[in-house]
Amino acid sequence: MMGSSEVAMHALSGAVPARFSPSLFANAPHAAIPYKNRGKYRRKSRALAASCSTSRIRNGCLRDYGFRNINNRLLSLKCKCQRAESTSGDANKTWFTEPASKADQILGELNGQKVVDFENGSVIMPNDVSVNQSSDKTRGNPVEDEVWRLLQESVVYYCGTPVGTIAAKDPSDSGSSVLNYDQVFIRDFIPSGMAFLLMGEYEIVRNFILHTLQLQSWEKTMDCHSPGQGLMPASFKIRTVPLDGDDSVTEEVLDPDFGEAAIGRVAPVDSGLWWIILLRAYGKCSGDLSVQERIDVQTGIKMILKLCLADGFDMFPTLLVTDGSCMIDRRMGIHGHPLEIQALFYSALVCAREMLAPEDGSADLIRALNNRLIALSFHIREYYWVDKRKLNEIYRYKTEEYSYDAVNKFNIYPDQISPWLVEWMPEKGGYFIGNLQPAHMDFRFFSLGNLWSIVSSLATTHQSLAILDLIEAKWSDLVADMPFKICYPALEGQEWQIITGSDPKNTPWSYHNGGSWPTLLWQLTVACIKMNRPEIAARAIEVAEKRIAADRWPEYYDTKRARFIGKQARLYQTWSIAGFLVAKLLLKNPDAARNIWNDEDAEIVNALNIIVDSNPRKRGRKVLKKTYII
């Protein structure tokens, strides 16, 4: 028998549609679904034979809640989604389900939602979600109008409701050449989601959050091994398949990829972190806090946190990950503790702390979260930061120090400082290095990690301004003819051969190896607005606007100055389109950026001051003599 809390969690874990927004999706090509076309939720368990295969869940719009035990797992059964024939003229396109139980209605009301009863079923509506009713959004600028149109055309529909945007809609792609660019990626949807939020189109973001949440609990295995609970998928694809072998009736199913089909078979560590960040932005922009207050959403947040905060062998507060587990999803020598993951990790912790409902069962988790925030911020600010002064200090490091008060804690050899860095480091400015491990510092400049350190307040005010100073000083290297270099410098020669395995896609100054990615414009813009330096972002947008539309919105650019469209870049890449749009919208309305960034927490600052004042090089010291609840 299940406890009441389990029933509540499962009953509320269905992704339910918000009020249908006619402004953006009234003319959706998939909105008029035939009566026999259904979205069905079901899970199939495949028996283990000679080898293990990945179990899939097939997911629908609204749930008919039922439960059964399969292999000692509690599995939700099915849900049928169909449009009632009697409401074909309904302007709001209301969707019906099989009758909900009284428990469902009570749980819905407790969760801050309206349960509207109809003769044939019920629909759960969010409270106080504003819906933009304008049917046409124009800005008077041809480029901006094209951007908005292209973003609309990239929208993917599931059971008639918008649930995301595909990675790219390149007209030259066909057949096998599409690869997985026709899927909805969590990290790729983030700039799209921000664009929709800034435009007042909240429904698609809400649907995306709830549907991807459902995918979190699915069974996922590769070679008989399953990752920890809480892992979010890298992407999902909507497929239309015959229903129970009947070709006259079809169903739409969500087919996720947790990394078991990805190149290199790497789990997407950043997906869950981005999901939390988008969830907070949705609440801030829409004013609809009922989504983050739902029991299933609260459970999803906790599962991600528990996965990230789990104890291990690592001595550092940073997350230990493999190569290819974030935006740089191919072998690029970032395994270990890459800055990008740490910045997103910190941001997700701050956002989660803001959204977690205070309850007795969460006390230990919140305590662990607060302690990790303090330790992580100290570690990154103290050991990842380099400027001219710090570089000179590393240059004079002594090695092989066996003591509690060692200056060179990680036994970094001064010869690791590359000649390029000595010449490249400006007099004014600094940045966070890309990675730190015992006897290894990756001095490459990784843009996303540094920009998001500003956005999340992982960097101090002084460090944030110094990063922007460095960007201005090294404009010809980091921006040049198209913003923004994903990392600098590129790996070349024997270093490229050893670190990337001679990856033909990551050749020097291409793709992740020093390529230029227009989608990074929106992170740059948020960071600049936060630090009251919007002119930097405006200058970068002006550079991009000269050619990106004429180049048909490429995924990335090649060469040291970004003069060529990437040799394997997809055109009409959605996050290039969305990133540009978000940057333009934020420059027009800078106050909206407050809904995205995290302010520096005074309690964390105070705790860090205590750490510094307690003489961190003292033998046997404890970082914190007591637990700080923030």
Q: What percent of the chain has pLDDT over 70?
A: 72
- Segment of 96-100, 129-133, 451-455 carrying the highest mean pLDDT: 451-455
Name which of 76-85, 335-344, 424-433, 503-512 the model is least confident about.
76-85
The stretch 414-431 carries a mean pLDDT of 95
The stretch 249-268 carries a mean pLDDT of 81
More confident residue, 177 or 4: 177
Residue 618 has pLDDT above 90, yes or no: no
Residue 616 has pLDDT above 60, yes or no: no
The dihedrals phi and psi of 105, each to the nearest 5 degrees, come to: -65, -40
The stretch 496-519 carries a mean pLDDT of 96
Q: How confident is the model at residue 324 (pLDDT cuts 50, 70, 90)?
A: confident
Cα(627)–Cα(190) distance, integer angstroms: 34
pLDDT at position 175 is 58
pLDDT at position 216 is 87
pLDDT tens for 195-210 read: 999 999 999 999 999 9
Residue ranges of domains in the chain: 4-306, 312-457+602-630, 474-599
- Tokens representing 102? 């009284």
Residue 185 has pLDDT above 70, yes or no: yes
pLDDT at position 114 is 40
Name which of 138-147, 465-474, 608-617 the model is least confident about.
608-617
- Mean per-residue pLDDT of the chain: 79
pLDDT at position 94 is 33
The stretch 312-336 carries a mean pLDDT of 91
Name which of 201-215, 227-241, 447-461, 492-506 the model is least confident about.
227-241
Residue 90 has pLDDT above 80, yes or no: no
pLDDT at position 605 is 84
In 215-371, the DSSP E strands lie at 235-243, 246-257
pTM of the prediction? 0.79
- Tokens representing 64? 């008919």
pLDDT tens for 468-489 read: 999 999 999 999 999 999 999 9
The b-or-e profile of 558-581 (16+ CB within 10 A means b, else e) is: bbbbbebbbeebbbbbbbbbbbbb
pLDDT tens for 71-83 read: 333 333 233 343 3
Q: What is the DSSP letter of 135?
A: S
Q: How confident is the model at residue 298 (pLDDT cuts 50, 70, 90)?
A: very high
Q: How confident is the model at residue 124 (pLDDT cuts 50, 70, 90)?
A: very low
More confident residue, 69 or 217: 217
Residue 246 has pLDDT above 90, yes or no: no
pLDDT at position 207 is 98
Q: How confident is the model at residue 361 (pLDDT cuts 50, 70, 90)?
A: confident
pLDDT tens for 582-600 read: 999 999 999 999 999 999 8
Closest CA to 408 of 377, 439, 433, 378: 439
pLDDT tens for 550-581 read: 999 999 999 999 999 999 999 999 999 999 99
Our CA angle for 12, 18, 20, nearest 5°, is: 150
pLDDT at position 21 is 43
385 pairs with which residues across the strands? 432
Name which of 136-140, 218-222, 319-323, 534-538 the model is least confident about.
136-140
pLDDT tens for 7-38 read: 344 434 443 333 334 445 544 444 433 333 33
Residue 494 has pLDDT above 70, yes or no: yes
The dihedrals phi and psi of 473, each to the nearest 5 degrees, come to: -70, -30
Q: Indicate the SS3 state at residue 318.
A: coil
Give the pairing type, strands 161-165 and 184-185: unpaired
The stretch 456-476 carries a mean pLDDT of 98
Cα(147)–Cα(518) distance, integer angstroms: 13
Q: How confident is the model at residue 358 (pLDDT cuts 50, 70, 90)?
A: confident
Residue 101 has pLDDT above 50, yes or no: no
**Can the peptide bond before residue 489 be classed as cis, meaning omega within 30 degrees of 0?**
yes
The stretch 269-291 carries a mean pLDDT of 97
Q: How confident is the model at residue 459 (pLDDT cuts 50, 70, 90)?
A: very high
The stretch 525-540 carries a mean pLDDT of 98
- Distant-in-sequence, close-in-space partners of 178: CB < 8 Å, separation ≥ 6: none
Q: What percent of the chain has pLDDT over 90?
A: 58
81 pairs with which residues across the strands? 39
Segment (H or E) for 136: none
The distance of Cα 55 from the centroid of its chain, to the nearest Å, equals: 24
